[in-house]
């Protein structure tokens, strides 16, 4: 018998000072049985960082040809493809052909990945790559609960994530920006 996804009820209060986006969002996020807390956390952060009313979660690990999140137009065209983790250059290039805007939110030890992959995708004019700081991201992942209420504030490239008890500062590393 296959393991079932675990639902997480997520409430985000998004204050993106850099883009002028201020929203309260409630979503249910399915966590695949093989998904780590770090990946789930990065998907939730990506929702806040790239928020748009049409941005939605893809089917995740169960469907490798889909983005972690994507923004679809009303006629079903992909407008923004968002990946999390450390996708290979081929996947990034392929997604850049499918969408006019592509973003990658990298996490974990990105130093080697950055050296291998970033140099192969610098020619893409529709690509943004951001990286989460490893230690602060791990601390944030430890705050996960099945019912989650986080405040996300982005200002001057620094993301502040808070819950009822604490606030974590995540300075975003810009690896590539159009």
Evaluate whether 152 touches 41 at the Cβ level (below 8 Å).
no
Evaluate whether 31 touches 41 at the Cβ level (below 8 Å).
no
Which structure tokens are listed for 35?
Answer: 């998904």
Which structure tokens are listed for 168?
Answer: 């974590």
Per-residue pLDDT tens over the stretch 32-90: 888 999 999 999 999 999 999 999 998 766 677 889 999 999 999 999 999 999 999 99
Find the mean pLDDT for residues 167-172.
98
Per-residue pLDDT tens over the stretch 10-39: 999 999 999 999 999 999 999 988 899 999
pLDDT of residue 176: 95
pTM of the model: 0.95
What domains can you pick out in the chain, each with its CATH number? 6-176 (3.10.640.10)
Which structure tokens are listed for 39?
Answer: 């990946």
């Amino acid at each position: 018998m296959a393991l079932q996804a675990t639902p997480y009820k997520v409430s985000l209060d998004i204050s993106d000072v850099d883009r002028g986006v201020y929203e309260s969002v409630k979503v249910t996020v399915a966590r695949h049985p093989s998904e780590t807390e770090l990946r789930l956390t990065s998907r939730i952060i990506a929702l806040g960082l790239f928020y748009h009313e049409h941005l939605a979660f893809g089917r995740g690990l169960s469907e490798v040809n889909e983005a972690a999140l994507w923004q679809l137009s009303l006629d079903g065209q992909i407008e923004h493809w968002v990946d999390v983790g450390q996708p290979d250059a081929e996947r990034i290039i392929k997604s850049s052909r499918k969408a006019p805007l592509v973003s990658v939110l990298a996490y974990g030890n990105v130093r080697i990945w950055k050296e291998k992959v970033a140099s192969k995708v610098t020619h893409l004019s529709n690509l943004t790559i951001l990286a989460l700081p490893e230690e602060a991201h791990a601390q944030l992942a430890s705050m996960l609960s099945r019912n989650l209420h986080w405040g996300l504030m982005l200002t001057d490239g620094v993301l502040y994530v808070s819950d009822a008890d604490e606030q974590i500062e995540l300075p975003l590393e810009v690896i590539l920006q159009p």
